Amino acid sequence: MSKMVLTTEGDKYVVVTRRFAASPDLVYRAHTEPALIQKWLLGPDGWTMPVCISEPRPGGGIRYEWKDGKGNGFHLTGEYVELVPFSKIVHVERMHLPDPTPDNHVETRFDADGRGTLMTMRMTLPNARARTAMLATGMEHGMEASYARLEKMV
Amino acid sequence: MTDLDATFFALSDPTRRAILARLARGEATVMELAHPFEMTQPAVSRHLKVLEGARLITRRVDGAKRPCRLNNRGIKAIEQWLAVMHKALARNYDRLDNVLADLHRTPSKGEPP
């Protein structure tokens, strides 16, 4: 299992790196094809993504809707800006909590790394208000629980 | 509310991070901080001002000295957000490992049945 690294870059960006034991084309597809995105982009255990729209072309739309099965939910909208199959995705996204958070500009790169892929995602650091709204979605406790389970697995 | 943007700016500098690491071991005066970092006291004071503005440290008055210590409230605010982000993403990528393993077994079709 590969360890994810999350760092801040100055006061503007968060950079996440993660290695995957699959080629860049597969990792890229898992980030752009709705049927694949719905299987993993879920946050804490118990959440599902019943609606997933992903139109991977410049200007194409993004809409993810999450539900926790207990009446809670929120959604995210966005647009693709630039796509270089199978190495780079640039998109903009915002969460609706229910007020929209400021636009998050995300650049994701997929570089061949031996037989696998090194993914590097650079995203805009949300402002304090957006961070508070994100923490207030009630996801935090679920994340604590799933992280504890993950720790046991590793 | 703590201004987290100021906090991240304060943390973007390696010297300020080193000062925080030193203060994590206990309170220190400007003079005590200047010595190991081979910096002038005015230079250290400028860094301390940024850290204080971001509420990462607090200073108290002790005669002519103004010793510095970590401000746990400011530090917890950043850690909380980054920790939640880290956990959510780590869980996602853990699941993505499994999705990729399935894809690898059926490379011609997008999805296993």
Percent of chain B with pLDDT over 90: 30
Cβ of B81 within 8 Å of Cβ of A11? The answer is: no
Give the one of B95, B104, B110 whose C-beta lies nearest to A42's C-beta: B95
Q: What is the pLDDT of residues A85-127, one digit of tens each?
A: 999 999 999 988 777 888 999 999 999 999 999 999 999 877 7
Chain B positions in Cβ-Cβ contact with residue A147 (cut-off 8 Å): 87, 90-91
Closest CA to B74 of B56, B58, B53: B56
Cβ of A125 within 8 Å of Cβ of B93? The answer is: no
Domains of chain A plus CATH, in order, are 5-153 (3.30.530.20)
* Model confidence at B45: pLDDT above 90: yes
CA distance B37 to B27: 16
User: Is 0.90 surpassed by the pTM of this model?
Assistant: no
Closest CA to B8 of B56, B69, B57: B56
pLDDT band at A135 (very low <50, low <70, confident <90, very high): low
Copy the structure tokens of residue B64.
């002519």
What sign does the dihedral B42-B44-B50-B51 (CA atoms) show? negative
Q: What is the pLDDT of residues A16-48, one digit of tens each?
A: 999 999 999 999 999 999 999 999 999 877 889
Q: What is the ipTM of this complex?
A: 0.84
Q: What is the pLDDT of residues A46-85, one digit of tens each?
A: 889 999 999 999 999 999 999 988 888 889 999 999 999 9
- Specify whether the CB–CB gap between A2 and A20 falls below 8 A: yes
Domains of chain B plus CATH, in order, are 4-77 (1.10.10.10)
Q: Give the closest-approach CA distance of A45 to chain B in angstroms.
A: 8
Copy the structure tokens of residue A104.
């998050």
CA distances from A107 to A1, A10, A54, A83 (A): 24, 16, 16, 10
Give the one of B2, B81, B91 whose C-beta lies nearest to A135's C-beta: B81
